[in-house]
Structure 1
Amino acid sequence: MAVQIENLGQLDRKVTLEFARADLAKAREDRLAKLGKTMKAPGFRPGKVPKTMVEKQYGMQVDFELQFDKASELFYELAQKEKIQLAGQPRLDPKSELDADKIVFDAYFEVLPEVKIGDFSTAEVTKYATDISDAEIDRALDVLRKQQVHYHPRGDAGDHGDGGVNTAAQAGDQVVIDFVGKIDGVEFAGGKAENFEYVLGEGRMLPEFEAATLGLKAGDSKTFPLSFPADYHGKDVAGKTADFTITVKSVNWAHMPVIDDAFALSLGVTEGGVAKMRAEVKENLDRETKRRITSLLKGEVMEKLNSICELDVPKSMVAQEQERLAESARQDLIQRGIPNAKDAPIPVEMFAEQAVKRVRLGLILSDLVKQQNLAATADQIKAEIDEQAATYEDPKEVVRWFYSNPNRLKDVENLVLEDNVMKFFTSQAKVIDKVVTFEELSKLN
Structure 2
Amino acid sequence: MKIAESADIFPGGGPDFPGLSYKKPLKKGRNRYKSQFLTLRPIRPERTMTLKKNDSSSSANPGTAGSALPTWTYAREDLLELEYPPFFVETWQFVGHVNELQQSGDFITLDLWKDSVVVTRASDGLLRAFLNICRHRATRLLDGRGNCGSMIKCPYHGWTYQTDGRLAGIPSPKNFPGVDRSEYGLFEAQCEVYRGLVFVRIAGEGPSVAEKMANADHWVESYKAEEYVLLSEAVTETWNANWKIAWDNYLENYHLAVGHPCLHRLVVESEQGAMLLGGNSAGFFEMNPKLSSVDQERRYQEIVGCTDHRYPEEIRRKWLQIDFESNMGIEFYPSLFSVFQVLPMGAEKTQIRMSLYTPADLSESEKELRSIDLALLDEINGQDKFLCERIQRGVKTHGYRPGPLSQEESGIANFHDRIRKLLPVTRLKSPPPRGQIEAHNQQESS
TM-score strictly above 0.5 = no
TM-score normalized by structure 1?
0.22
Structure of higher CA gyration radius:
1
Greater relative contact order (Cα < 8 A, sep 6+): 2
Query: Higher strand share goes to which structure?
Result: 2
Query: Higher helix share goes to which structure?
Result: 1
